[in-house]
């Protein structure tokens, strides 16, 4: 009786919320308002009902409800702002005139609507639009949503609503996993990082496939949460979720499934007391990682030459430096450039339109806020306690570092694809930052603040360089000397930190 009562209550709330969402969406779209409000409202009601039921499934806590609500509303609001603001405030081109941030989203969304209303077989059209969607899954899903809920006129905000709902649902699964493994406080921090990370907001308020990939990754994490109790059921659920994700991106599911499988493996390994069993398991797992690495390299190497060419041609100073100092520095220079994207000094100095300057600063500030936590976390996990699932933390941090590096290689210095690939690992970014945040509250975070100091020096040095390059402000420092100055200051901070720690340790032992 209680379950049926909660379901009826959830349906009523979903219908009310759907009507509001439908009215707003229809009012901001073309076409008949009442038809649009009814159909959009129905989709909104289904999405809200799905989110509420997922919230109940994972625990139905008040904190989680707030996090999910914030995640959903921010993305809906930002999506409306972009949809309505870009045609007025953006550049005069077909993508922005239609209210899209990403050209990929624009091309796929237009193709999806045409397929939905064509009245012809979908499969040949999906194959014909492979340039708009390599795997076809998200194109088909978009066409289905348009065909059922917006066949009279295209309403791009419906896909924004879908992206926002999937991101909010994914947060519920991530919160449940993190809370179980590292506690509610860590889960709270991870939830806020997930909800407020700028690239997560930008992607979650757009018609992109990344929100769906992130949501499915969180679901995959949750599906194996009770693997010790029911390993067969966990395996079946994980395989089904992975198979569904393959419809949207095979490399993404390969990477996420590897990390999820590895996390389960190290949890299992920590319970094994027999040394021979542990040794044999580690050898088998190392062989598995080698196969994954080989497959990943074949996927990666196909695009390296093209992406490096695009990075060099798209960045005047990278091209000039390579011409001056030689092609042998191409790989490290473009990788380093990719790791810093979106670069905050460049965003601050950029003379673009206000809306794009604001987006650039927003995204760059988010990435550079995260960097110290990640760098500190990559080191701190090796000193974690066994009860903190140290081996799992180490594996996640190494996998995350590898994926960030791969993203930089795969997309070079691209300011859009590189961060987009990186953000698909948002669940693990949020987890690691949440764990680091709680660790910093428990001890003296000297090295964390030293990393922050290094980052501030890096930003100031490159801000000066960009100001002189763009506006002839400040002292002129040639790039090789700039790197020497930066490297020297970083070495002083690192060596000084070690000497200070050694001195303090020596005083304690006296």
pLDDT at 330: 67
Condensed to tens digits (0 to 9), the pLDDT of residues 439-475 reads: 999 877 889 999 999 999 999 988 988 888 878 887 7
- pLDDT exceeds cutoff 90 at 142: yes
Residue 148 has pLDDT above 70, yes or no: yes
Evaluate if residue 73 carries a pLDDT over 70: yes
pLDDT at 306 over 60: no
**259-273, 323-337, 416-430: the lowest-pLDDT one:** 323-337
Residues in the chain: 510
The per-residue pLDDT for 507 is 60
Percent helix, strand, coil in the chain (nearest 5)? 85, 0, 15
Q: What is the mean pLDDT of the chain?
A: 89
What per-residue confidence (pLDDT) applies to 1?
A: 53
Task: State whether residue 424 is helix, strand or coil.
Answer: coil
| Structure confidence at residue 303 (pLDDT) | 63
Distance between CA 132 and CA 140 in Å, rounded? 11
**Of residues 346 and 43, which shows the higher confidence score?**
43
Confidence of residue 509 (pLDDT cuts 50, 70, 90): low
Lowest mean pLDDT among 181-195, 429-443, 493-507: 493-507
Contact 167, 217 (CB under 8 A): no
Q: Burial code of 344-366, b = ≥16 C-beta within 10 A, e = fewer?
A: bbbbbbbeeeebbeebbbbbbeb
Whether 346 has a pLDDT exceeding 60, the answer reads yes
In this predicted model, which residue has the larger pLDDT, 392 or 320?
392
pLDDT for the residue numbered 273: 82
**Secondary structure string (H, E, C) spanning 451-508:** HHHHHHHHHHHHHHHHHHHHHCCCCCCCHHHHHHHHHHHHHHHHHHHHHHHHHHHHHH
Share of the chain above pLDDT 70, in %: 91
CA contacts within 13 A on the Cβ side of 6: 9
Say if residue 389's pLDDT is above 60: yes
Position 445 scores a pLDDT of 86
Side-chain-side CA neighbours of 93 within 13 Å: the count stands at: 10
Q: Distance between CA atoms of 241 and 186, rounded to whole angstroms?
A: 26
Is the per-residue pLDDT at 168 higher than 60? Answer: yes
Q: Is the pLDDT of residue 42 over 60?
A: yes
Measured CA to CA, the distance from residue 34 to residue 26 in angstroms comes to 8
For the cut 80, the answer to whether the pLDDT of residue 21 exceeds it is: yes
- 96-101 long-range Cβ contacts below 8 angstroms, 24+ apart: 98/156, 99/156, 100/156, 100/206, 100/207, 101/202, 101/206, 101/359
pLDDT reported for residue 272: 84
Q: Which two tokens stand for residue 351?
A: 């003379």
Residue 237's contacts (CB-CB under 8 Å, 6 or more residues apart) are 223, 224
Q: What is the pLDDT of residue 213?
A: 96
Q: How confident is the model at residue 204 (pLDDT cuts 50, 70, 90)?
A: very high
pLDDT at 315 over 60: no
Longest dimension (CA), the chain: 84
On the question of pLDDT at 240 being above 90, the answer is: yes
User: What pLDDT score does 235 carry?
Assistant: 94
pLDDT of residue 307: 57
Rounded average pLDDT over 199-215: 96
| The pLDDT of residue 258 | 94
Of 72-81, 122-131, 244-253, 460-469, the range with the highest mean pLDDT is 72-81
Q: List C-alpha distances in Å: 344 to 97, 200, 205, 355, 360.
A: 27, 17, 22, 16, 8
**Nearest 5°: phi and psi at 134?**
-60, -40
Predicted model pTM: 0.93
Residue with the bigger pLDDT between 496 and 296: it is 496
| Phi, psi dihedrals of residue 372, rounded to the nearest 5° | -60, -35
Q: What is the pLDDT of residues 408-441, one digit of tens each?
A: 877 666 778 888 889 999 999 999 999 999 999 9
Mean pLDDT of 94-100: 95
pLDDT of residue 133: 87
User: What pLDDT does residue 271 have?
Assistant: 83
Q: Tell me, what's the pLDDT at 336? A: 79
What mean pLDDT do residues 80-86 have?
Answer: 96
pLDDT above 90 (res 211): yes
């Amino acid at each position: 009786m209680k379950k049926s009562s909660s379901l009826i209550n959830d349906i009523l709330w979903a219908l009310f919320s759907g009507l509001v969402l439908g009215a707003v969406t229809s009012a901001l779209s073309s076409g008949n308002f009442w038809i649009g409000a009814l159909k959009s409202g129905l989709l909104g009601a289904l999405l809200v009902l799905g989110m509420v039921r997922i919230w109940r499934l994972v625990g139905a806590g008040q904190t989680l409800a707030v996090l999910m609500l914030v995640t959903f509303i921010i993305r809906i609001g930002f999506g409306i702002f972009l949809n309505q603001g870009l045609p007025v405030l953006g550049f005069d081109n077909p993508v922005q005139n239609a209210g899209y941030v990403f050209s990929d989203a624009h091309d796929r969304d237009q193709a999806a609507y045409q397929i939905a209303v064509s009245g012809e077989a979908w499969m040949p059209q999906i194959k014909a639009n492979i340039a708009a969607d390599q795997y076809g899954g998200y194109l088909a899903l978009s066409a289905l949503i348009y065909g059922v809920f917006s066949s009279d006129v295209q309403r791009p905000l419906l896909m924004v609503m879908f992206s926002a709902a999937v991101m909010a649902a994914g947060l519920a699964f991530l919160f449940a996993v993190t809370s179980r493994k590292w506690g509610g406080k860590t889960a709270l921090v991870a939830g806020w990082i997930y909800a407020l990370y700028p690239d997560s907001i930008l992607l979650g308020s757009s018609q992109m496939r990344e929100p769906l990939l992130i949501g499915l990754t969180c679901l995959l994490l949750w599906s194996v949460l009770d693997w010790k109790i029911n390993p067969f059921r966990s395996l079946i659920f994980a395989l089904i979720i992975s198979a569904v994700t393959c419809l949207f991106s095979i490399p993404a599911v390969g990477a996420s499934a590897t990390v999820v499988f590895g996390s389960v493996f190290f949890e299992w390994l920590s319970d094994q007391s027999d040394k021979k069993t542990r040794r044999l398991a580690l050898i088998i797992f190392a062989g598995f990682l080698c196969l994954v690495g080989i497959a990943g390299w074949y996927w990666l190497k196909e695009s390296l030459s093209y992406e490096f060419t695009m990075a060099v041609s798209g960045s005047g100073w990278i091209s000039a430096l390579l011409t001056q100092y030689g092609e042998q520095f191409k790989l490290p220079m473009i990788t380093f450039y990719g790791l810093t994207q979106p670069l905050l000094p460049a965003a601050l100095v950029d003379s673009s339109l206000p809306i794009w300057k604001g987006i650039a600063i927003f995204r760059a500030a988010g990435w550079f806020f995260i960097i110290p936590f990640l760098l500190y976390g990559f080191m701190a996990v090796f000193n974690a306690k066994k009860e903190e699932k140290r081996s799992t933390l180490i594996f996640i941090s190494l996998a995350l570092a590898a994926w960030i590096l791969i993203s930089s290689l795969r997309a070079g210095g691209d300011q859009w694809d590189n961060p987009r690939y990186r953000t698909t690992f948002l669940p693990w970014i949020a987890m690691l930052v949440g764990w680091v945040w709680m660790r910093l509250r428990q001890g003296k975070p000297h090295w964390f603040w030293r990393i922050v100091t290094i980052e501030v020096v890096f930003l100031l040095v490159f801000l000066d360089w960009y100001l002189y390059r763009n506006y002839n402000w400040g002292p002129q420092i040639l790039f090789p000397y700039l790197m020497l100055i930066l490297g020297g200051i970083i070495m002083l901070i690192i060596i000084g930190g070690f000497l200070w720690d050694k001195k303090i340790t020596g005083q304690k032992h006296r």
